[in-house]
């Protein structure tokens, strides 16, 4: 059992802390947000993540998981301190490290014996070195020993617990045997699963995270560009992706064409790596292209919507799904935000439904018609747009929608349905990259 201090109870910190406690470690999560900590002590999870409430409750009840607002208290007996605070994107696209560095100052002031300080937040290459300097300059007793380490996370929102418990790999960037051993001991339960533990230097570990997320983004943008070409040349991106994915060198995942990538990670990390490369006198031209392809997708959806309705001006549009992907209430950089903005400028009435993200969306766009079911959202709609492929939208009752909607147009931004199915219910249909599947006029 290792005593761990987890700084930050956002997505990464809370999931990692709860999972490490479940591995049998003693974990104290600390956050400056007192309201959040009080809620967590009552078992209230501040965001939607399947299974996290049960995992937190179980580990609290079994006496391995603790919450506090006092870094000093969480820090006191810990041998390892994870930093999992936010690194938002600044106006110029680089990661804003003010929260990480502030924690570094506090750690320096508190450190009174050897500990390993690990960054779990996604931080630009070189941050651990800078952080070590910040800690060193704030030490009460100069020379107090500590080691830095980088341990990037690869959790996906919506399936993070499974991703933590059954990862494809664990990356640990360390520089001393002592810190490597401590990190290996934390992840020891995964040895039973034969999980590869990739031991690297610190800069390499930092770069692995950006390279991985950027590659995923490039893969998505690549297939979205193929989708666009497929429409022009009369091909079907669905079959192209399926066939490409059967090649083991390519793989089937992250080849779903549609509205592209959103969320708090891929958009932020692609912009950050472009910035990191610029600073280093290099260039990430492929990633820049992927960002550009992605940025065009909501506009393409609006053009399709124009064509399906014969003009969007003043129409009523139903949006099914607001979250950036299913199984989350996260709307950060969600394509739905651009769609809503585009519909508003065209004077549309926007009716929306989402199983989890409506409350978050309301904070940004309070003036939409928020509905309790997808069918209520379709009432009086000239056009229905499937934006996020939640499971509950995969088996829609189109007879019921036809009975409520004013028009007969369906835009499938996630390629869930097909033209014959929709036309059987009298709907014009369009999707992304499937030439034979669209009934919109060319
Ligand atoms: C992503 C990475 O997948 C995780 O490995 C990483 O740990 C995480 O970022 C992070 O850095 O914290 P996440 O943002 O939760 O995870 O979401 P993904 O499942 O990767 O999806 C990203 C976006 O791509 C979503 O908007 C999704 O709809 C879109 N997507 C995904 C596609 O458009 N097509 C695909 O084929 C796959």
Task: Find out whether 284 and 290 touch, Cβ atoms under 8 Å.
Answer: no
Residue 119, both tokens: 């960054």
Asked whether residue 191 carries a pLDDT value surpassing 90, the answer given is: no
Task: Find out whether 433 and 227 touch, Cβ atoms under 8 Å.
Answer: yes
Residue 365, both tokens: 């766009």
| Nearest atom within ligand 1 for CA of residue 213 | 2
Asked whether residue 321 carries a pLDDT value surpassing 70, the answer given is: yes
Residue where a domain stops, chosen among 160, 184, 200: 200
Asked whether residue 368 carries a pLDDT value surpassing 90, the answer given is: yes
- State the Rg of the chain over Cα: 24
Give the residue-averaged pLDDT of 185-210: 94
For the chain, give the mean pLDDT: 95
Residue 398, both tokens: 């189109």
State whether 107 and 158 are in the same domain: yes
pLDDT band at 436 (very low <50, low <70, confident <90, very high): confident
Helix (H) or strand (E) holding 347: none
State whether 330 and 298 are in the same domain: yes
The residue nearest atom 22 of ligand 1, judged by CA position, is 261
Asked whether residue 441 carries a pLDDT value surpassing 70, the answer given is: no
Q: Determine the length of the chain.
A: 442
Residue where a domain stops, chosen among 200, 231, 261: 200
Residue of 242, 241, 382, 372 whose CA lies nearest to 308: 382
154 touches ligand 1 (CB under 6 Å)? yes
The CATH number of residue 290's host domain is: 3.40.50.720
The model's pTM: 0.94
Return the exposure string of 91-111: e unless at least 16 CB atoms fall within 10 Å of the residue's CB, then b.
Answer: eebbbbbebbbebbebbbebb
Asked whether residue 20 carries a pLDDT value surpassing 60, the answer given is: yes
Q: pLDDT per residue over 286-319, tens digit each?
A: 999 999 999 999 999 999 999 999 999 999 999 9
How many structural domains compose the chain? Answer: 2
Domain residues for 149? 3-200
Q: What is the pLDDT of residue 442?
A: 56
Residue where a domain stops, chosen among 200, 222, 241: 200
* Lowest mean pLDDT across 32-36, 139-143, 398-402: 139-143
State whether 298 and 176 are in the same domain: no
> What backbone torsions phi and psi does residue 330 show, to the nearest 5 degrees?
-80, 130
Q: How many angstroms does the Cα of residue 317 sit away from the middle of ligand 1?
A: 27
Task: Find out whether 213 and 291 touch, Cβ atoms under 8 Å.
Answer: no
Q: How many angstroms does the Cα of residue 203 sit away from the middle of ligand 1?
A: 23
342 touches ligand 1 (CB under 6 Å)? no
Q: What is the pLDDT of residue 192?
A: 82
Please tell me the number of Cα atoms within 13 Å of 353 on its side-chain side: 20
Q: Alpha carbon of 110 to those of 134, 148, 202: distances in Å?
A: 13, 16, 23
């Amino acid at each position: 059992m290792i005593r761990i201090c987890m700084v930050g109870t956002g997505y990464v910190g809370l999931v990692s802390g709860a999972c490490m406690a479940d591995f049998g470690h003693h974990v104290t999560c600390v956050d400056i947000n007192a309201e959040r900590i009080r809620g967590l002590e009552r078992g209230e999870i501040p965001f939607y993540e399947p299974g996290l409430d049960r995992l937190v409750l179980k580990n609290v009840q079994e006496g391995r998981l603790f919450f506090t607002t006092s870094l000093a208290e969480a820090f006191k007996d810990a041998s390892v301190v994870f930093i999992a605070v936010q690194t938002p994107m600044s106006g110029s696209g680089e990661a804003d490290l003010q929260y990480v560095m502030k924690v570094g100052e506090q750690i320096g002031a508190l450190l009174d014996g050897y500990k390993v300080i690990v960054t779990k937040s996604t931080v630009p290459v070189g941050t651990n070195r800078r952080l070590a300097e910040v800690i060193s300059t704030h030490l009460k007793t100069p020379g107090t020993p500590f080691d830095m380490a980088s341990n990037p996370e690869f959790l996906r929102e919506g399936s993070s617990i499974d991703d933590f418990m059954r990862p494809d790999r664990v990356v640990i960037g360390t520089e001393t045997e002592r810190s490597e051993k401590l990190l290996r001991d934390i992840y020891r339960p995964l040895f039973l699963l034969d999980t590869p533990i990739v031991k690297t230097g610190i800069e390499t570990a930092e770069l692995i995270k950006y390279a991985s997320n950027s590659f995923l983004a490039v893969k998505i943008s690549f297939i979205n560009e193929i989708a666009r070409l497929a429409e022009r040349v009369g091909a079907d991106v669905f079959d192209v992706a399926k066939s490409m994915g059967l090649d083991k060198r390519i793989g089937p995942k992250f080849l779903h064409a549609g509205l592209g990538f959103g969320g708090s990670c891929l958009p932020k990390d692609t912009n950050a790596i472009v910035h990191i490369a610029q600073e280093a006198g290099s260039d990430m031209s492929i990633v820049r292209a992927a960002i550009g392809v992605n940025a065009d997708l909501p506009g393409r959806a609006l053009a399709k919507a124009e064509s399906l309705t014969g003009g969007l001006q003043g129409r009523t549009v139903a949006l099914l799904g607001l979250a950036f992907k299913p199984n989350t209430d996260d709307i950060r950089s969600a394509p739905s935000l651009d769609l809503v903005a585009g519909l508003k400028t065209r004077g549309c009435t926007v009716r929306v439904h989402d199983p989890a993200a409506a409350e978050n969306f309301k904070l940004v766009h309070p003036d939409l018609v928020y509905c309790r079911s997808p069918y209520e959202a379709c009432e009086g709609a000239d056009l229905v747009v499937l934006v996020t492929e939640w499971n509950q939208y995969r088996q829609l009752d189109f007879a019921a929608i036809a009975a409520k909607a004013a028009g007969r147009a369906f835009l499938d931004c996630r390629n869930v349905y097909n033209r014959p199915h929709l036309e059987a219910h009298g709907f014009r249909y369009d999707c992304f990259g499937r030439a034979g599947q669209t009934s919109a006029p060319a």
